[in-house]
């Protein structure tokens, strides 16, 4: 390896070798950075996010329409029911073939804990197909 000298002895020949030490240092730093960040990139959480606009789906007559108001009132196909009655009806609905879908019409101001409770109740009862119904926005094509 050739090093430059401060004196003018030996002529003014240009240095003919590339100093590799700084390049190796940069390469090792980049290698360490990629070794640390590569495992973080492969453990991403995959979430299937809903689309903003959708086409309306055909609602079959045997689907269950469960409306939940902000005060906690429950309505089974527009008929007011209690939570105990809901549990009985969900168990009976799970016995039907095919098992009907549960369409949740939840009030915007309803506490999410109540929605999660109803979802868990329907899952325990055997009605596992649950759909959330929302009003379409005005900016659909």
Residues 6+ apart with CB under 8 A from 108: 70
Half-sphere exposure of 98 (CA within 13 A, CB side): 9
Mean pLDDT over each residue of the chain, to the nearest integer: 79
- This prediction has a pTM of 0.54
Per-residue pLDDT band for 140 (boundaries 50, 70, 90) equals very low
Report the pLDDT averaged over residues 94-115: 86
Which helix (H) or strand (E) segment is 131 a member of? strand 130-132
What fold, for 64-132? Nucleotidyltransferase; domain 5 (3.30.420)
């Amino acid at each position: 390896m050739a090093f430059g000298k401060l004196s003018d002895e030996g002529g003014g020949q240009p240095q003919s070798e590339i100093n590799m030490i700084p390049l190796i240092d940069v390469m090792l730093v980049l290698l360490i950075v990629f070794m640390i960040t590569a495992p973080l990139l492969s453990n991403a959480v995959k979430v299937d996010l809903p689309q903003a606009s959708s086409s309306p789906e055909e609602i079959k007559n045997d689907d269950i329409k469960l409306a939940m108001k902000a005060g906690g009132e429950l309505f089974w196909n527009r008929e007011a029911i209690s939570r105990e009655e809901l549990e009985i009806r969900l168990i009976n609905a799970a016995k039907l073939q095919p098992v009907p879908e549960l369409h949740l019409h939840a009030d915007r101001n309803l506490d999410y804990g109540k929605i999660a409770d109803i979802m868990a109740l329907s899952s325990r009862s055997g009605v596992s197909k649950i759909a959330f119904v929302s009003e379409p926005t005005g900016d659909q094509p």
